[in-house]
């Protein structure tokens, strides 16, 4: 570097992904969440999704709750996250699904979650579905 130019290395957490807020990525997240909510409605006793309109509206509510409410509650519950080595995240995800069901009920959307265990198992299934489908989509995108 004899011309006086230099390159700075900056550490950041989480690592910045350039396609994180692209339209295709947001659509992928919405579709994956909708599939997870649909599967929770089919397989978890106590989680009910009325029809496809209720699925779309409840997925939109779920996305809003996950985007705005969950980060605040995550930071407020940071001591519990540390004490439980991150397992409190499962409780937080169940609360987010229950909050989604409550908001859907306020908007007369046919989506409901009955009790803690239904919310817990539903959130676990939605999270697992999201991990699997997102990793498959990213792997496929990397192959192209």
Full-model pTM: 0.82
The SS3 of residue 24 is helix
pLDDT, tens only, 34-89: 999 999 999 999 999 999 999 999 999 999 999 999 999 999 999 999 999 999 99
Token duo for residue 142? 């990397």
Give pLDDT, residue 8. 63
Query: Does residue 15 sit in helix, strand or coil?
Result: coil
Cα 102 to Cα 31, 39, 95, 108, distances in angstroms: 22, 19, 10, 10
Instruction: Judge whether 98 and 119 are in contact, CB under 8 Å.
Output: yes
């Amino acid at each position: 570097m004899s011309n006086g130019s230099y390159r700075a290395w900056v550490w950041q957490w989480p690592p910045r992904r350039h396609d994180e807020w692209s339209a295709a990525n947001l659509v992928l997240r919405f579709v994956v969440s909708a599939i997870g909510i649909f599967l929770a409605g089919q397989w978890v006793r106590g989680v009910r999704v009325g029809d496809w309109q209720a699925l779309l509206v409840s997925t939109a509510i779920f996305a809003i709750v996950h985007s705005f409410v969950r980060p605040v509650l995550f930071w407020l519950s940071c001591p519990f996250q540390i004490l439980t080595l991150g397992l409190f995240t499962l409780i937080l995800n169940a609360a987010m699904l229950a909050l989604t069901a409550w908001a859907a009920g306020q908007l007369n959307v046919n989506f409901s979650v009955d009790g803690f265990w239904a919310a817990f198992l539903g959130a676990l299934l939605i999270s697992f579905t999201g991990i699997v489908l997102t990793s498959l989509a990213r792997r496929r995108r990397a192959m192209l």
